[in-house]
């Protein structure tokens, strides 16, 4: 049986990973897995249950009472938390910060990475996250690391939030949020954010979506797809 093709796209917050990964998957006719959405779901559950996001035992107890399911439908990935679709609810700035906090906890990463690997073993996927190429799927045949200037990333994030109706944040607020996530993601002890040695680096600052997609497609070897 043919081994599924997995394309890993890593990078910091606001680098364009989700947009590029989603459109790349559409171009290739395969599924897109947003692994960050899984951490957001756990962060949302922690917020709703007032669980201490720095306490591994507390989070582990919460996870043992949590049912997280990833489904793929006509509109793409859906995140189902305890039987409820939270695909839109996980996109707020509060949940973003909570996701960064819980992602630093080994018990959370172990649980979600196990889910991600299980999904990737069953189908062709484009996956985006912060540790796909280094930890989740270190043997993925295609790896990319996207980055961009912090102000550019903050502007993109602010535009996304405003499009979702969250208009109470300034660019300065979002720069602080993005910088906080960078620090958290890069300094955690387990699977920190970093470029895999064999990943192709693409700086998306000033580039259009089409330009980034073009650079990614140029690196994919057709005989391996």
User: Do the beta carbons of residue 115 and residue 127 sit within 8 Å?
Assistant: no
Condensed to tens digits (0 to 9), the pLDDT of residues 133-173 reads: 999 999 999 999 999 999 999 999 899 888 888 888 899 99
Average pLDDT taken over every residue of the chain = 93
Q: Residue 151 is encoded by which pair of tokens? A: 């102000």
User: Do the beta carbons of residue 134 and residue 9 sit within 8 Å?
Assistant: no
Domains and CATH numbers, the chain: 6-218 (3.40.50.300)
**Residue 222's pLDDT is what?**
64
Cut 0.85: pTM above it: yes
**Residue 3's pLDDT is what?**
81
By C-alpha distance, which of 142, 160, 33, 49 is closest to 102? Answer: 49
User: Do the beta carbons of residue 19 and residue 209 sit within 8 Å?
Assistant: yes
């Amino acid at each position: 049986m043919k081994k599924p093709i997995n394309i890993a796209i890593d990078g910091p917050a606001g680098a364009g990973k989700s947009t590029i990964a989603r459109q790349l998957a559409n171009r290739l006719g395969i599924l897109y897995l947003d692994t960050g959405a899984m951490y957001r779901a756990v962060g949302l559950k922690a917020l709703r249950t007032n669980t201490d996001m720095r306490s591994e035992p507390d989070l582990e107890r919460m996870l043992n009472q949590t049912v997280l399911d990833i489904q793929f439908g006509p509109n793409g990935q859906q995140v189902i938390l305890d039987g409820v679709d939270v695909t839109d609810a996980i996109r707020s700035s509060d949940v973003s910060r909570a996701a960064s906090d819980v992602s630093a906890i080994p018990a959370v990463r172990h649980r979600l990475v196990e889910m991600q690997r299980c999904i990737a073993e069953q189908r062709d996927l484009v996956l985006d996250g912060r540790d796909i190429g280094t930890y989740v799927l270190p043997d993925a045949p295609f790896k990319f690391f996207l980055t961009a200037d912090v102000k550019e990333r903050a502007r993109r994030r602010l535009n996304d939030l405003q499009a979702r109706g969250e208009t109470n944040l300034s660019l300065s607020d979002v720069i602080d949020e993005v910088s906080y996530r960078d620090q958290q993601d890069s300094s955690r002890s387990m699977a920190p954010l970093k470029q895999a040695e064999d990943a192709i680096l693409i700086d998306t600052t000033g580039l259009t979506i089409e330009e980034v997609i073009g650079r990614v497609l140029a690196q994919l070897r057709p005989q391996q797809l």
